[in-house]
Structure 1
Amino acid sequence: MPQLVLDLHHTEADAARSLRADVLSGLTATPKWLPPKWFYDARGSALFEDITRLPEYYPTRAEREILDGAADEIARVTGAETLVELGSGSSEKTRLLLDSLHNHGLLKRFVPLDVSTSALAMAASSIASDYPDVEVHGVVGDFTAHLDAIPAVPNRMIAFLGGTIGNLAPEERTVFLRSVRETLEPGEWLLLGADLVKDPAVLVPAYDDAAGVTAEFNRNVLHVLNRELGADFDVERFEHVARWNAEQERIEMWLRARQAMAVTIAELGLNLSFAEGEEMRTEISSKFRRQGLADELYAAGLALRRFWTDEQGRFAVALAQVTLSTGG
């Protein structure tokens, strides 16, 4: 019989409060900004799945290539009995890790953590059905706030894939990596997917595809605000902008007002004005170099043990181990 447990640490009411706080903070700032997590309602998630299949969008394929070749080594090196995944637990990449750990006779439990109760329940049920001898313990929570809800069981490896680490600002990455260190015991593991610095001619099209799918994904955050907060954004009057910030080595996505306009967010009693050409930042996606990533991990008390890239050197998967004391 499949063994399935779901713990609820993040409710729809929590999400609603978080959305209101983020929108109030971000849209009253200069320049205006919104966190990228609000792209991902059902429509946004479907659009992102479409993005991962675009010819310009290399990260998903590159990461899968790495894991396809490294999964057995990851299992051997870590000896992990518990795989914790931050994000969706149903992807093919996750199953590469589950299969390798299972084939090595190691895998005892799988702990997916996600903010979406419905997505998590579906993913957890699928894994529990396909791996009936593995305990599946789902945690509905936010990886920036609920790592302490991860079960304290032996021999854990946290997988944080897809390059999502790049969506965090440097100070947010510091807090996140330290929270990983505090969650895990000495000797336990973090498996991290990270996009690498490369030619902007490769980077920018991955966030500004010819078919316009990423543009629609970017504008989807305005549909979310209209629906959830009673806003009246004229979505088509905002154009998608993706640019490479060379100084900070990151891609930035913005929405640019095509003309001057006033916007009301009824649920917040907020009246906004946009000048023609004014830009609102909706995402950062930092790109990494090996030494810089190793330094960030070390500062949090995580030692880089393995580092793999795809054949073209576009993307990396890093395996880090919790050390006995923090690196300073």
Structure 2
Amino acid sequence: MNHSAVTEFVVVGLSGRPELQGIFFTIFLFIYLVALLGNVIIVIAIIYNTTLHSPMYLFLLALGVVDIICTSTIIPKMLENMLVLDKTISYEGCMSQLFFFTWSLGAEMVLFTAMAYDRYVAICFPLRYSTIMNRNMCMAVLCIVMAIAIANSWIHTGLILRLTFCGPNTIDHFFCEIPPLLALSCSPVRTNEVMVFVADIALAMGDFILTCISYGFIIAAILRIRTTEGKRKAFSTCSSHLLVVSLYYSPVIYTYIRPYNFTIGKVISVFYCVITPLLNPLIYTLRNKDVKKALKKSLARKKLLLVKNR
């Protein structure tokens, strides 16, 4: 049961200096709109183009949905608090934000591993790819991803709900993340800290290691290809994913595997919950010919419909 005496939390934000709020508001509003638009475009392009209904793009579709939920969970409230003097979030709102952020964090990490496995099968077993990564297998992998993410989120949120918050209620962060909330608890948080460490080892480090193993086999298979063109084509199919994984895992592992520093933690959190969702659609769109072709086809179809309606 929740024995909390705190009904709302005060969110410090990235900075307590009022003169910086307008600058931060403009920057993060721009980032949010670009990230949201980019991920929505990718989701729509994949849904409405049958040529992209393959496992690789279905995983990319899921990644886009996760990024939309992640940014929409954090940034709108963050922007609101930049405009008002009463920078608060209700206890219920904080717990909801924590649940959806933790869910999206877990889902993204497991999705990266699933995408690495997909590229491993495609490059190492090209003749058997359609048999191994069939629609049923793809749906099963996505269900496993969602199940792991939900279980991880329920565990952490449930453990936080059992804590007593009797004051102070000021969160030294720009959203409700686990380490700043644990610092405010009036009750023992040892179990929470152990579960955070276990989740970091199992999800962050575990998924990162599995992804590295997949790419180890991928690189070995690429090196066995005799033609330069064949190597280039094989590497281009996984270079975007490898870049995104590198950008995502580094700050996550740094944040949760070491003693938490509030100032550094806020800056690093920006990378994996704001910058990465912004970069994902840009990297996958700009470096992927199929996605660019599908987007052009969708735009041409929309333009044709507009002309006909006139």
Q: Do the structures match in fold with TM over 0.5?
A: no
Report the TM-score when normalising by structure 1.
Answer: 0.25
Q: Looking at both structures, which has the greater relative contact order when contacts are Cα pairs under 8 Å and sequence separation is at least 6?
A: 2
More strand by share: 1
Q: Which structure is larger by alpha-carbon Rg, 1 or 2?
A: 2
More helix by share: 2
